[in-house]
Amino acid sequence: MLLLQVINSISFNFKKESNVSNSKITFGGKEVIMGKKEKRNLWSHKVKETPAALELPKGLFKRSPKEIAEVLKKTVMETGKGDEFRSAMSMLDFYINRAGKNLSTEDKVRLDLVKNELRKLFGREPGEDE
């Protein structure tokens, strides 16, 4: 499952404070307060549990921009669903957004270069995907 791998490859800092009836969790800079019996149904949980998620090789986002773009393109082309370019960009954006502050400057630059590689592979001009 692609999105499961993406989510699992990112480390998260959860800060849990418990009192008698509620739990406070800081997630992505937002504080969420939940009752004792309430489930933690975050949107990312639903995404990673979705059976339609695509599978990507482990450690994909640590490779070169060209390799990442080629694997993303190959993966979305195999599914044949909708706009393959948008799907590939969405997978990349999902990874970048989930990584958030945990991405180093070097990783941000490298992953930004992947967007340019995807544009080349799909024959798109810069700004055409915006």
**Which sequence spans correspond to the domains of the chain?**
2-121
Phi, psi of 33 (to 5 degrees): -110, 125
Length in residues, the chain:
130
Mean pLDDT of 77-91: 85
Average pLDDT over residues 95-108: 89
CA atoms of 100 and 129, how far apart (whole Å): 22
Single pTM value for the model: 0.58
Task: Name the residue with higher pLDDT: 9 or 59.
Answer: 59
Indicate the range of 9-13, 56-60, 87-91 predicted with least confidence.
9-13
Give yes or no for residue 25 having a pLDDT over 90: no
| Confidence at 46, pLDDT banded by 50, 70, 90 | low
Residue type, 25: I
Tell which wins on pLDDT, 56 or 122. 122
pLDDT classification of 101: cutoffs 50, 70, 90: confident
**Predicted local distance difference test score (pLDDT) of residue 99:** 86
Q: Is the pLDDT of residue 114 over 90?
A: yes
CA max distance for the chain? 58
Mean pLDDT over residues 118-126, rounded? 88
Confidence of residue 125 (pLDDT cuts 50, 70, 90): confident
Gap between the Cα atoms of 57 and 75, Å rounded? 10
What pLDDT is stored for residue 124 in this prediction?
87
Q: Are 61 and 68 in contact (CB under 8 A)?
A: yes
Rounded to whole angstroms, the Cα distance separating 56 from 70 reads: 12
